[in-house]
Structures are given as structure tokens and as C-alpha cells.
Chains A and B, each alone.
Chain A
Amino acid sequence: MLKEYKTVSQVYGPLMLVESVEGAKYGHIVDIEIADGTIRHGQILQVEKDKVLVQVFEGTEGINVNDSTVRFLGKPMELALSPEILGRVFDGIGNPKDDGPAIIAEKKLNINGNPINPYARDFPNEFIQTGISTIDGLNPLVRGQKLPVFSGAGLPHDDIAAQLARQATVLGEGEAFAVVFAAMGITFEAAQFFIDDLTNTGAIERAVMFINLANDPAIERIATPRVALTAAEYLAFEMDMHVLVILNDMTNYCEALREISAARKEVPGRRGYPGYLYTDLATIYERAGRIKGRNGSITMVPVLTMPEDDKTHPVPDLTGYITEGQIILSRPLHRKAVSPPVDVLPSLSRLKDKGIGEGKTREDHADLYNQLYAAYARGKEAQELATILGEAALSEEDRNYMTFANKFEERYISQGYYDNRTIEQTLDLGWELLSMFENVELKRIDAELIAKYMPRFRDKK
């Protein structure tokens, strides 16, 4: 039974207070019919006696205290699901946005989901080949992992996200794969770029998009990642698909949350973000994973822009505290036209060791990335020294490492957005670059592996 009320008493910010309501429940949704007959959607944030505080997804602009009717729907927000969602484009709360028909629900699921029981989880350990050397070679992604991209305004995170969606695959398996893309507050151009890219490669057939653009209602963004993840869970755990979820841009999501919090006059945490931001983000990010006995999986790549490239800003900071590593983009590399400009040294995939090695990628993988990392770190130091003191001041050894770092950036890091390298190509390229060093310099690699994989020895055979 739908209950209707015309008792809106206050409207402020994105919030609305409705009075004399009976039987309202926390977390349930409402429909709001405003004076011009259009319908808006809201969710109950707090109920006190007969007073109900509602957050309005589309914003409160134009809502009038006297002429609005609020209908209590008596349930939490749900998403209609069926296999037909593949290939479709929806708005930020899950209404079709393309020309396709409404989804005839085979199943309706609460968009908030439920926490995965830690005992039911299966550990992520299957290597995903992304075709991007800095990821596959140095920071491997595994199925069920959550690995964010920390970017900044004007950096090409959209290109990387699109490249991931295009190229990510698990080696040697013909299993069903899908991409769920959630856009929160990104520009029309960025969203269109993504849609076009998926369309051109045919990947759109196995993609689901939820699009909230920069000029769409901000509060709607609070629902968008949850709606997208509900679709992903359906595809992964009911349809046995391996789903890659891209959430772009989580900074915009957090700003919407901050807006609600400010309107509620909550005690703010750092930089005005609510104290519960960590928990709120965790309820999104932790929906990635694998479950024992299920075939599908959810791998998540949240994209966020760091205000002023500051890693300690609450959004990247709290994200880093929840996710399993991070891929950080570098402005200096971007300026040098290195693409994708992955900042190798502070980037890290924490689950890398679980998905590589013999039988998964190749036996030399771990030693190789340790050596590449060490050599590049050394070369970067030399690069910096050279900018301060001039190249002439460098020792022979330092100069060598600097040469390595330069080549590493030009050839290994930089590959463009359309080069899809196999893991063998990535590994072999690493060896090729290391071949400029004597064996004794390669302390992190097992001698047997050097003998087996180093080009100068391989060629002799």
C-alpha cells in the first residue's frame, strides 16, 4: 500500500523534511511528485517520531513546500535486472537512457547489497592480462581485486580506463566477460568517448553503462556506484561472468556525499568530508571479489582525481586504505608525452604475488619486476641528480642507470593506448632493457633465470 503525504515542511540543500508521517522506515525510498507533475526520487536518511528526513536524488530545485506529494514506497531502492541489461545505457539511478525498452525484471535487487561473508570469499589469484606493461609487468591485476587509478585533473585516466575495458582478459580462457561502467559527474565528452570506444570494438555488447554526467543531479551520484555494483553482482554471481567494474570519478561521488553531510550539519571530518567516508567507501569497494564455489568474479577499477595531485587528500587517502594497491599517474611523465603516464615507483598492486609465476605468467616474473623496479628507482635518482648538478657530475654508474631510466620510460612505460602487449612481450621487453647491465648488477634475479632469459644468452642457444 502506497502512502501519500502532502506534509513537506522544510526543504534545504538536497534535503526535505516531511511531517506527520506514519510507518516510515529508515533507508526506504520515496517518490516526490512536484507541482509540474514530474516525479523525483528520494531516500529516507532519518526518521524521528513522525518526521522524516529525505535526500532527494535529483536535487530540490523547484520543490515547493505546499504543492509536493510524497509517496512512501515501503522498500529500499532496487534495480530491475535481467540478462537484457547487457549492451544498455542507463542513467545514474538505473533508468534506461538509450532508446531501448524498459528492463523486464527477472530479479529485483536492493542496490545497497549485503556484505560478503569473509568466510565465503575466495582469494583473488588469477592473472588478468591488461596489455599494459606497467600493470601486467610491474603491478599485476588479479580477478577479484580492487585497484584504483589515482589521477589528477587533465591527466588521461579516461584513456587508461577505456584501454582496460578493451583489453583486459584472462589468459587461455574463453569465459564470459563483461564490463560495467559507472560514470559519476564526468563530462559528456568523456562519457561519449567511452561509449564510442566500446562501440567501435564491439565490446559494447558485453557492457552495461550507468551514466551520471557533470550536469546531471549531483545527489544521484550517491546511488550510481551502488546501482552499477548491483548489476555487476547479478552478472558475476547469477550469470557466472567475470565482470570488470570501472567507477569514474569517485572524487565526484565523495563530493556529493559531502554535500549531504553539510546539509545535515554533521560534524565534518577532514576537508569537510563526513567522518563516515571510510565506511561509506568500503561498502562500495568491498563489493569486489570472488566467492567460493561461484564461477564469476568482480574486479574493480575505481578512478579518482586527486585535488592538487595530493595523495593525502581524504578521497585518495581513504581509497588507498581500502583498495588493494593503487596505480598512480604522473604529471611530469604526461608532460614528457609518456603514455600511459604511470608513476611506477609509488604504484603498487598488493595482490601481485598471488597471480604470477610459473603456470600463471612465467617463472621469471617476480625476480624481473623486482630488478626493473630497483633499476628504475636508481635511475630516477640519477635523473634527479642530473637536473640539480648537471649530467657531468654523475658517476659512470649513475649515468648508466639514468640511460636505463630514460629508455625504460620511452619503451616500457610508454606504449600508447592501442598497443595490447601480451605478457610474454612485456616480460621480454624487460629483459631486453636490462641487457645493458652486467650480470653482477642484476642482484635481484636468480642466476639461473638470467642464463635462461637474458637475450645475450638466449640468442647464443
Chain B
Amino acid sequence: MSELSKGTIIKVAGPVVVAEGMVGARMYDVVRVGGDNLIGEIVELRGDLASIQVYEDTVGVGPGEEVVNTGAPLSVELGPGLISSIYDGIQRPLDQLVAAQGDHILRGSAVPGLKRDVKWRFLPTIENGTKVSHGDIVGQVQETTLVLQKIMVPAGVSGTVEGLNEGEYTVEETIGAVVADDGSRTELKLMQKWPVRQARASRRRLAPNEILVTGQRVIDAFFPLGKGGTACVPGPFGTGKTVVQHQLAKWVDADVVIYVGCGERGNEMTDVLLEFPELVDPHSGEPLMKRVVMIANTSDMPVAAREASVYTGITMAEYFRDMGYSVALMADSTSRWAEAMREISTRLEEMPAEEGYPAYLGARIASFYERSGRVICEGSPERTGALSIIGAVSPPGGDLSDSVVQATLHVVKVFWSLVGRLAQQRHFPAIDWLTSYSFYKEYLAGSFEDKEQGAEFAAMVQEAMNLLEQEAELIEIVRLVGAESISANDRMALETAKSIREDFLHQNAFHKVDTYTPIAKQFDMMKVILHFHEQGLAAIENGAETSDIFKLAVREDIARAKYVDYADKDKIIGITGIIDEQIKALYAPVA
């Protein structure tokens, strides 16, 4: 496009502007709107009339002002400098906006996503003269102590590499070139751009075959997430969606974490910004922030940029996946994204479907989650990457029949249902063990090095689940006929179920030790709880009173196991010995 096409505004309605005379414009082209050069994106075309969603506040914009088409779709900059950054929904660096504009977000800023003045040490990993094509890794940059960024040949480029040199480069400097068979040259840079609404290609999609360990007991043991899988966390306000997302961002066993704060609170983003640099990654010992990219388009920031924020996030996530990494993306909350869609759709005067949402809501949600997956990446060396997505959903009144919840449940494979009843009892995470599910359970056993131990863990979890289900039934019976009428074995089952709930499922995100439980510790904790159950039943068989069993001092040890640092491994599994001793003492009178 030689001449940038220009049009004239004829209508302004909130975040949507309509311009006429937009000859040659394409869907999703980025435009500059009005005298303040606001950033917008074309979301509807009728003849030469373009409807534009504007990413900045439109107060003061009116008919007659000019709209200039940049001719390029909304894109993000990908390259060194992403990690540890905090961006708004269209990749404007918020830290630099503070420097440029002050404490509040003003309009018309044009700070680029990647810093232009930073030099990165680039190390080629292939020889000049090598034939390369899309996705081939040509070299690397140690971006942070945790992330080694692989520099890849952009899509559509192939030929022979030349002039590739080790050295210090900014993201815009040429690190080498690819010469095609027809002699045309493409310069290689540390930075590439990618349109956010287009999924980045991979060679082949694979099914998840592994668990993504999170250190959250109810998740890992009962409703695990697969590497490359999808999960959703719906729940009414205050039930712990954000805490779950933060916990995952902190402790998930992934190489890179993309955290999208989509239309939620400013203070929550500040919390992450202040806390993550202080926290240490349990796997590497480095500050957690060194593997995180944050997108923060809070609820008071423009809604159109909120709509874009999840795409900005997922595109960055795909980019790191393409390097062969395991990436986890959290989006809090996808409902706010859907509402942004609804607002734009209303202003476009589209025909609404349910609850005023546009008819394409389901399709958009599905194609977002479909960008997850375990894949064989494009290019050589051959590598697999994984992108897992965890989306929070905030249904009105906590009602799960909400359109966004339903559309999400159609596509995700893990459902962590947060319920108000548990949150009010301060049982956190308030994940309802009876209604939540995971399609990745079968891979749980594989997350242990010792496969037999893995199989045992899976079996124990199944037993625990059975006890919890039994508890639900027994509680009904007790309610109807009273506690006296059930058998001693049933009383034991009730007591163990309570122990599973309080001593295993309940996990305090804000406790130094309890916040993260290695999978091996989860095994030991579960083993101890079920060992007590087994021994308890044996004791009943031998004539012991349930009330005496329930009063044993060892129960305090079981309850406190979660707070025991796993450096003291034997302290937990050692409880089985104490159980045996104390239970034996109950047999004594019989013997």
C-alpha cells in the first residue's frame, strides 16, 4: 500500500467510531483516529464505511475528523525485552507510560512494546551458509536468568543464512540475513511482529500427555491440568478465582508465564508487581518475575483494549511456545473480555444473541482456547512446545448457566468450580470437589519418576474421592435420622472425609509453606490420611470406640503436616509410625 488511505469520521458512540471514505481498508487494519491520533482497529466494513473500535478514550472526538489507515493489522512486537514487562492490552509498556505521561493513563501515546535502546548479547547457534526456513532457530539471547530466548526465522522467509554474527544488538539492528534462491534478501533482527488475531502456526498438534504441576493439592491430585491443556475457573465474586490464578502464576511448573489481567482490579496487578520479584521459583531458585510477562488492562482502562488484551497475551504465549517451551497463560477474567465484545457489538448495532452477547461469542471463546496445545514446533531443531490456558470466568450472580460459562465449558477440559458456600466457610481453594472435573486425570501417575508410586497415588486419590462422595451421602442420612444411627465404619468414613477436606484439600495461599506443595509431599500427606483411615477401621474391627480413635493425639500431627517444610521429609511420612503406635494402644485392653 503506497498511499495510506484516509477517511472522515461520521459517527462517534462511546468506544466505536464510524468513518466514511475508507477505500481499500481491510478488516482488522489499525487506524489512527482524529486529531489526537488515537489508536483504533477496523471491526466492520460496509462499502467504504468502516466501524472502528478505539483503544483509547474517545471523549472530544467528533464527525469531520480524519481517520488514517496504517494498512497493518493489530500486531505485537516479539523479541527480547518481553519478560518481566507489564503492558496494557495493546502492548504499551505501562512502566514507560508512567515515565512519559505520569501516574494516569492519557491518550495518544506511542511508546513501542520493546525497548529500542537496550543491547542484547546474541549468540548464533547455526553456521553461516546453512539453509533455513520458517521457525528454524538461528541463535539465542539470554533474556533473563530464567529465559533463554531463541531467535527464530520469521514466517514466509527461507534461504541461506549469511552475515550472522555474535554481538550486542538492539531489537531493530540487523543480526544477519537470509538470502532466498531468487537472490532476494531478508534481514534478520531480534524482533519480529505478529498480528494478534492470527494464531501462530506449528507443525503438528499433539494431545497433552503430562500433568502441569502447580503445587496446589486439590488441583494436582484431584483435578490436574495437562501440559498444553485448558482449564476454567468460574465462581461468584470473592470465591478465589484471582488467588487461584496468582497461585498458578507463581508455582506452575512452566518455563514462561503470561498473566493477563483483563478488566479486573488495579490493585491486584500492583500486588503481582510487588510480590513476584520477591518470590523465589522453587525449581530454579530465581525470582519468579524473571519468567513472567504481564498484561494489565484493568476495568477502568478502555474496553476495546481490554477486548484486544487476551489476543496480545496469547500471541506472546505462542511465540515462547514456538521456542519449545512450556508456557502457561492465565486470563482473569474472560467474562470481562466477553463483556468488552458485547459492548462493542452493541455499539455496532449487531443483532444480539443471549444476554445481549453477540452471536459469535461462542466461536471467539472456542478459537481462543484452541490456541492452546502441545505441539511440534515449526522449524529445526525439532522441539515440542506447550501452551496451557487457564481462564477465570465471573458469571453474574455466580450462575453457571451464564453464556460465557457455557461457551467455555464446551471447549475446556478442566473445570474448577468455585462455590460461595465453601468460600464463606473459608475453605480455600473453594473448589467444589463434587462438581469439578478434569480430563487429564489419567496422566497423574506419570508425573512421578517412580511409576509404581505414581499409580499408587492415583489409586489413593480415587479412594479419597470415594470417601468424599460417601460423605455427601452420609451427611444426608445423618440429617434425616441422626448421627447415632450410622455404623462405626461410616463414622470413620465421615471423619476421614473431613480430614481429607481440612488437612489436604484446604490450602492457605498466604502461608509460607502451605502455599506450595511438591507432588511428593502431596503423596505423603495423602498416604498419612488414608493410613489413619485404614488403621482406624482395623481398630474398630478390634473393638475400639470411634470417639477414642478420633481423639488420638496423632491427628494434630496429620493436621499440621501441611505446614511442615518438605526439607523435613521424614516428618510427614513418619506420622504413619505414630499412627500405628497410638492405634495399637487402643487395642491393648483386648490383648
Q: A residues near B, CB below 8 A? A: 22-28, 45-50, 76, 110, 112-124, 144, 237, 266-270, 275-276, 278-279, 282-283, 286-287, 289, 291-292, 294, 312-314, 317-318, 320-322, 324-326, 345-346, 348, 350-351, 353, 370, 373-374, 377, 443
5 cross-chain pairs, A with B, having the tightest CB-CB distances, nearest first:
A27-B59, A282-B299, A312-B397, A25-B62, A114-B104
Encoded as 1 (CB less than 8 Å from any A CB) or 0, chain B from 497 to 512 comes to 0000000000000100
> Is the Cβ of B238 less than 8 Å from the Cβ of A325?
yes
Given contacts A46-B12, A286-B266, 17 further A-B contacts (CB under 8 A): A25-B12, A26-B13, A27-B59, A46-B11, A47-B63, A48-B10, A50-B63, A112-B59, A114-B104, A117-B105, A120-B103, A121-B267, A276-B346, A278-B336, A286-B299, A320-B236, A321-B394
Give Cα distance in the complex from A25 to B399, angstroms: 40
CB of B462 within 8 Å of the partner chain: no
Beyond A266-B346, A275-B339, A289-B266, is A119–B98 a contact (Cβ under 8 Å)? Answer: yes
From residue 95 to 125 of chain B, which have CB atoms closer than 8 A to chain A? 95, 97-98, 101-106
CB of B58 within 8 Å of the partner chain: yes
Give Cα distance in the complex from A312 to B237, angstroms: 10
Min distance, Cβ A58 to any Cβ of chain B, angstroms: 21
> Is the Cβ of B396 less than 8 Å from the Cβ of A116?
no
Min distance, Cβ B391 to any Cβ of chain A, angstroms: 16
Beyond A26-B60, A278-B339, A291-B103, is A117–B303 a contact (Cβ under 8 Å)? Answer: no
> Is the Cβ of A26 less than 8 Å from the Cβ of B98?
no
CB of B273 within 8 Å of the partner chain: yes
> Is the Cβ of A47 less than 8 Å from the Cβ of B62?
yes
By a CB distance below 8 angstroms, the chain A residues around B103 are 116-117, 120, 237, 291-292, 294
Min distance, Cβ A46 to any Cβ of chain B, angstroms: 4
> Please, which residue of chain B has its CB at the minimum distance from the CB of A366?
B510
By a CB distance below 8 angstroms, the chain A residues around B18 are 48
CB of B271 within 8 Å of the partner chain: yes
By a CB distance below 8 angstroms, the chain A residues around B238 are 320, 325-326, 348, 350
Beyond A123-B270, A123-B274, A279-B303, is A115–B104 a contact (Cβ under 8 Å)? Answer: yes
By a CB distance below 8 angstroms, the chain A residues around B86 are 118-119
> Is the Cβ of B397 less than 8 Å from the Cβ of A275?
no
> Please, which residue of chain B has its CB at the minimum distance from the CB of A26?
B12
By a CB distance below 8 angstroms, the chain A residues around B336 are 278
Encoded as 1 (CB less than 8 Å from any A CB) or 0, chain B from 335 to 378 comes to 01001101100100000100110000000000000000000000
> Is the Cβ of A23 less than 8 Å from the Cβ of B356?
no
> Is the Cβ of A123 less than 8 Å from the Cβ of B267?
yes
By a CB distance below 8 angstroms, the chain A residues around B263 are 278-279, 282
From residue 288 to 338 of chain B, which have CB atoms closer than 8 A to chain A? 296, 298-301, 303, 336
By a CB distance below 8 angstroms, the chain B residues around A115 are 104-105, 266, 298, 300-301
> Is the Cβ of B265 less than 8 Å from the Cβ of A270?
no
Beyond A279-B303, A286-B299, A353-B510, is A118–B270 a contact (Cβ under 8 Å)? Answer: yes
> Please, which residue of chain A has its CB at the minimum distance from the CB of B340?
A279
Give Cα distance in the complex from A45 to B63, angstroms: 13
Min distance, Cβ A347 to any Cβ of chain B, angstroms: 10
Q: Can you pick out 23 interface pairs between chain A and chain B where the beta carbons lie within 8 Å of each other?
A: A25-B61, A26-B58, A47-B12, A48-B63, A49-B10, A76-B59, A113-B104, A114-B105, A115-B105, A115-B300, A117-B98, A119-B270, A119-B296, A267-B352, A276-B339, A286-B298, A289-B266, A312-B397, A317-B397, A320-B237, A320-B238, A377-B425, A443-B559
Give Cα distance in the complex from A23 to B236, angstroms: 45
By a CB distance below 8 angstroms, the chain A residues around B14 are 26, 46
Residue with the greatest number of chain B CB neighbours at <10 A, chosen from A27, A237, A353: A27
Give Cα distance in the complex from A377 to B236, angstroms: 21
> Is the Cβ of A373 less than 8 Å from the Cβ of B426?
yes
Give Cα distance in the complex from A268 to B269, angstroms: 31
CB of B543 within 8 Å of the partner chain: no
Give Cα distance in the complex from A41 to B10, angstroms: 25
Give Cα distance in the complex from A29 to B454, angstroms: 68
Min distance, Cβ A324 to any Cβ of chain B, angstroms: 7
Beyond A46-B12, A47-B12, A48-B10, is A28–B424 a contact (Cβ under 8 Å)? Answer: no
Interface of B is mostly: mixed
By a CB distance below 8 angstroms, the chain B residues around A23 are 62, 64
Encoded as 1 (CB less than 8 Å from any A CB) or 0, chain B from 252 to 275 comes to 000000000101011101110110
Min distance, Cβ B59 to any Cβ of chain A, angstroms: 3
By a CB distance below 8 angstroms, the chain A residues around B97 are 117, 119
> Please, which residue of chain B has its CB at the minimum distance from the CB of A443?
B559
> Is the Cβ of A286 less than 8 Å from the Cβ of B61?
no
Give Cα distance in the complex from A28 to B106, angstroms: 17
Encoded as 1 (CB less than 8 Å from any A CB) or 0, chain B from 536 to 553 comes to 000000000000000000
By a CB distance below 8 angstroms, the chain B residues around A278 are 263, 299, 336, 339
Min distance, Cβ A371 to any Cβ of chain B, angstroms: 12
> Is the Cβ of A345 less than 8 Å from the Cβ of B98?
no
Residue with the greatest number of chain A CB neighbours at <10 A, chosen from B104, B261, B263: B104
Give Cα distance in the complex from A65 to B86, angstroms: 52
> Is the Cβ of A27 less than 8 Å from the Cβ of B356?
no
Min distance, Cβ A48 to any Cβ of chain B, angstroms: 4
Beyond A28-B60, A47-B12, A119-B94, is A275–B104 a contact (Cβ under 8 Å)? Answer: no
> Is the Cβ of B13 less than 8 Å from the Cβ of A322?
no
CB of B446 within 8 Å of the partner chain: no
> Is the Cβ of B356 less than 8 Å from the Cβ of A268?
yes
By a CB distance below 8 angstroms, the chain B residues around A27 are 58-60
Residue with the greatest number of chain B CB neighbours at <10 A, chosen from A47, A266, A283: A47
CB of B398 within 8 Å of the partner chain: yes
> Is the Cβ of A345 less than 8 Å from the Cβ of B424?
yes
Give Cα distance in the complex from A362 to B147, angstroms: 41
By a CB distance below 8 angstroms, the chain B residues around A123 are 267, 270-271, 274
> Is the Cβ of A24 less than 8 Å from the Cβ of B424?
no
Q: Which of B61, B303, B425 contacts A26 (CB 8 A)?
A: B61
> Please, which residue of chain A has its CB at the minimum distance from the CB of B60?
A25
Give Cα distance in the complex from A50 to B59, angstroms: 17
Encoded as 1 (CB less than 8 Å from any A CB) or 0, chain B from 1 to 22 comes to 0000000001111100010000
By a CB distance below 8 angstroms, the chain A residues around B426 are 370, 373-374
> Please, which residue of chain B has its CB at the minimum distance from the CB of A276?
B343
Give Cα distance in the complex from A73 to B270, angstroms: 38
> Is the Cβ of A269 less than 8 Å from the Cβ of B355?
yes
From residue 64 to 117 of chain B, which have CB atoms closer than 8 A to chain A? 64, 86, 94-95, 97-98, 101-106
By a CB distance below 8 angstroms, the chain A residues around B266 are 115-116, 118, 121, 286, 289
By a CB distance below 8 angstroms, the chain A residues around B64 are 22-23
By a CB distance below 8 angstroms, the chain B residues around A76 are 59-60
> Is the Cβ of B346 less than 8 Å from the Cβ of A118?
no
> Please, which residue of chain B has its CB at the minimum distance from the CB of A346?
B424
By a CB distance below 8 angstroms, the chain A residues around B424 are 345-346
Min distance, Cβ B334 to any Cβ of chain A, angstroms: 13
Give Cα distance in the complex from A314 to B396, angstroms: 7
Give Cα distance in the complex from A351 to B62, angstroms: 42
From residue 418 to 433 of chain B, which have CB atoms closer than 8 A to chain A? 424-426
Min distance, Cβ A114 to any Cβ of chain B, angstroms: 4
> Please, which residue of chain B has its CB at the minimum distance from the CB of A313?
B397
Give Cα distance in the complex from A112 to B426, angstroms: 38
Min distance, Cβ A138 to any Cβ of chain B, angstroms: 12
Min distance, Cβ B552 to any Cβ of chain A, angstroms: 13
> Is the Cβ of B396 less than 8 Å from the Cβ of A119?
no
Give Cα distance in the complex from A346 to B263, angstroms: 25
Give Cα distance in the complex from A161 to B559, angstroms: 42
Give Cα distance in the complex from A269 to B402, angstroms: 12
By a CB distance below 8 angstroms, the chain A residues around B11 are 46-49
By a CB distance below 8 angstroms, the chain B residues around A276 are 303, 339, 343, 346
> Please, which residue of chain B has its CB at the minimum distance from the CB of A293?
B103
Min distance, Cβ A125 to any Cβ of chain B, angstroms: 10
Q: Which of B95, B270, B346 contacts A275 (CB 8 A)?
A: B346
> Is the Cβ of B12 less than 8 Å from the Cβ of A117?
no
By a CB distance below 8 angstroms, the chain A residues around B265 are 286, 322, 324
By a CB distance below 8 angstroms, the chain A residues around B270 are 118-119, 121-123
Min distance, Cβ A318 to any Cβ of chain B, angstroms: 8
